[in-house]
């Protein structure tokens, strides 16, 4: 397993938003995490990778223990975590943002081929990009940095449909090279079309962990209270 987490509890000011979560992501596996707003998805990712207080539990990436509140240790283990705020440096140019993400690792895809707009806007400050373009830049940075695991919160937020297709194709190529991929999204159809396994969170816990197969979309819709 690339990611191995057990008994994760996390929250804010000692208040548990997520509690008792076990989660694994294998090498070459794409895992989608779904759940209604406020169910703890972003808190869980932050607790795993050091941006949110982890109150209990253990996390390993590639056999390396990640201590609580240690985003630097996560990065050193080959984890690229893209938070919901996209994680770009607004005062730096697109090219500078991408340069900072490179860690001597060559991913299976070139993000500039996936997102050609980033090449065209290489000298533009990232903060002046549109929301969708900043999302492209954030995902590109994650692909460049994630030698073991790419983790993205709200993957398709702001992306045009054509860019969604390109993004999923890129992540599949990344996974096929042996990198684990974990992402949050709101659309069960997109998730099941692109993932090997799907998780659902409810009230801070994982209530479904299933391989993608016939019938799983209907089960997801029931859990997510979708028509």
Reading the block at residue 81, the tokens are: 């975590």
Structure confidence at residue 225 (pLDDT): 66
Which of the listed CATH numbers 3.40.630.90, 3.40.50.300, 3.55.50.30, 3.40.50.2300 matches domain 3-224? Answer: 3.40.50.300
Q: What is the pLDDT of residue 35?
A: 92
- The whole model's pTM is what? 0.94
pLDDT for the residue 227? 41
Per-residue pLDDT of the chain (227 residues; tens, 9 = 90+): 999 999 999 999 989 999 999 999 999 999 999 999 999 999 999 999 999 999 999 999 999 999 988 889 999 999 999 998 888 999 999 999 999 999 889 999 999 999 999 999 999 999 999 999 999 999 999 999 999 999 999 999 999 999 999 999 999 999 999 999 999 998 888 888 899 999 999 999 999 999 998 667 777 777 776 44
Check: CB of residue 92 under 8 Å from CB of residue 75. Answer: no
């Amino acid at each position: 397993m690339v990611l191995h987490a057990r008994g994760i509890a996390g929250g804010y000011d000692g208040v548990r938003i997520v509690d008792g979560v076990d989660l694994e992501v294998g090498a070459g596996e794409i895992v989608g995490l779904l759940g209604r707003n406020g169910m703890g998805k972003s808190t869980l990712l932050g607790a795993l990778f050091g941006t949110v207080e982890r109150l209990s539990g253990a996390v390993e990436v590639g056999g390396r223990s990640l201590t609580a509140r240690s985003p630097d240790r996560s990065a050193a283990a080959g984890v690229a975590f893209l938070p919901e705020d996209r994680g770009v440096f607004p005062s730096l140019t697109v090219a500078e943002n991408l340069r900072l993400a490179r860690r001597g690792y060559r991913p299976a895809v070139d993000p500039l081929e996936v997102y050609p707009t980033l090449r065209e806007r290489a000298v533009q400050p990232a903060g002046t990009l549109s929301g969708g373009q900043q999302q492209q830049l954030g995902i590109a940075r994650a692909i460049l940095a994630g030698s073991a695991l790419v983790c993205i919160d709200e993957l398709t937020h702001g992306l045009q449909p054509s860019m969604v297709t390109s993004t999923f194709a890129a992540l599949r190529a990344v996974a096929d090279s042996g990198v684990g991929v974990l992402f949050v999204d709101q659309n069960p159809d997109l998730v099941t079309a692109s993932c090997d396994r799907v998780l659902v969170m409810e009230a801070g816990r994982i209530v479904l962990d299933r391989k993608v197969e016939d019938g799983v979309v209907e089960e997801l819709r029931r859990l997510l209270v979708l028509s």
